[in-house]
Amino acid sequence: MFEILEKRCLNPTVTLMRINAPKVARKCEPGQFIILRTDSEGERIPLTIADFDRESGSVTIIFQIVGATTEKLNHLSQGDCLHDFAGPLGRATETDGLKKVAVVGGGVGCAIAYPVTKKLHELGVEVDAIAGFRNKDLVILEDEFKNASSKFVLMSDDGSAGEKGLVTDALKKLIENGEKYDRVITIGPLIMMKFVCQLTKEYNIPTVASMNPIMIDGTGMCGGCRLTVGGETKFACVDGPEFDGHLIDFNEAMSRGSMYKPFERKAHEDTCNLFKQEVK
């Protein structure tokens, strides 16, 4: 069993948990993920590793409450235990040979962008981090990004936090001001990553996009995270989750991703109703 050492609400729909998982903490790297189950009959879901501490044996996950399992997970408290917490899985972020990188995160995707930023910073890479949110109430990990980057730019759609605008606005401004990046790494909603990759293609900057948002089963068996990269079929969980952003067919990925939303929404509503009945 894997004890929840810490639980913290980052915003109304996003929760941080630090889990006692020494075997995972010993081997995991930024970019990888775990698969968990809340109980013996629970659904298996993949969640990206947001941070880890090898000395204490803890692994941090950050999740958005969108479906049945994340709703169940959010009802657990510090001191409770998860039934399964398996990993690390997926390919770690490649960091060799990099000198200057821009990391672009959006929404809850910033939970994945942060460990990548932190790792690069620890390796002595100059990192410019850009994080975008809809408004100030949804901002997460602001202080962590500031401490792990050479330059941090906070963006919000309505201007209530940082600068008003999109992450692509900030990235374009940095590039046109003379910043020379070896690589851009982007993690967030598919539509955001699509436009980040379109922008960097114009400037011929190698770009990596994390396709964590489309993962479901985490083992390649369900086929839900199938995508086309450079004309070839890949699976985000076993072949990635990071791919050359200039080769990804984002339109196909977004179309496939939208297929599951009605089922996810219904499962979430059913689970919420179940908890309400238990309270009564």
pLDDT tens digit sequence for 181-196: 999 999 999 999 999 9
> What residue ranges do the domains of the chain occupy?
2-89, 100-258
Q: How far apart are CA 61 and CA 85, in angstroms?
A: 11
Compute the average pLDDT of residues 163-182. 96
CA 224 vs CA 39, 159, 214, 220: distances in Å = 23, 35, 7, 8
**Is residue 113 within 8 Å of 53, Cβ to Cβ?**
no
State the chain's mean pLDDT as an integer: 88
- Which structure tokens are listed for 278? 């238990």
* DSSP secondary structure letter of residue 136: G
Q: Does domain 2-89 have CATH number 2.40.30.10?
A: yes
**Measuring CA to CA, how many Å separate 258 from each of 105, 133, 253, 266?**
21, 21, 9, 14
Question: Cα Rg for the chain, rounded, in angstroms?
Answer: 18
| % of the chain beyond a pLDDT of 70 | 88
Three-class SS state of 2: strand
Higher pLDDT, 256 or 66: 66
So what's the pLDDT on residue 257?
57
Does residue 252 have a pLDDT over 90?
no
pLDDT digits (tens, 9 = 90+) for 86-111: 989 888 888 888 999 999 999 999 99
What is the average per-residue pLDDT within 15-30? 95
Specify the residue for token string 């995270």: 225
- Joined together, the tokens standing for residue 122 give 């620890």
3-state class of 264 per DSSP?
A: helix
CA distance 47 to 14: 13
Q: Is-cis flag, bond preceding 241, omega within 30?
A: yes
E strands of 28-109, at which residues?
Answer: 33-37, 45-53, 58-64, 81-82, 84-89, 100-106
Q: At what angle do helices 190-202 and 167-176 cross, to 10 degrees?
A: 20
What CATH number has the domain spanning 100-258? Answer: 3.40.50.80
Residue 58 pLDDT: 96
- Interior CA angle at 122 toward 118 and 125, to 5°? 90
Instruction: Classify residue 236 by burial, with Cβ atoms within 10 Å: 0-12, 13-18, 19+.
Output: buried
Q: pLDDT-based confidence at 171, cuts 50/70/90?
A: very high
pLDDT at position 9 over 90: yes
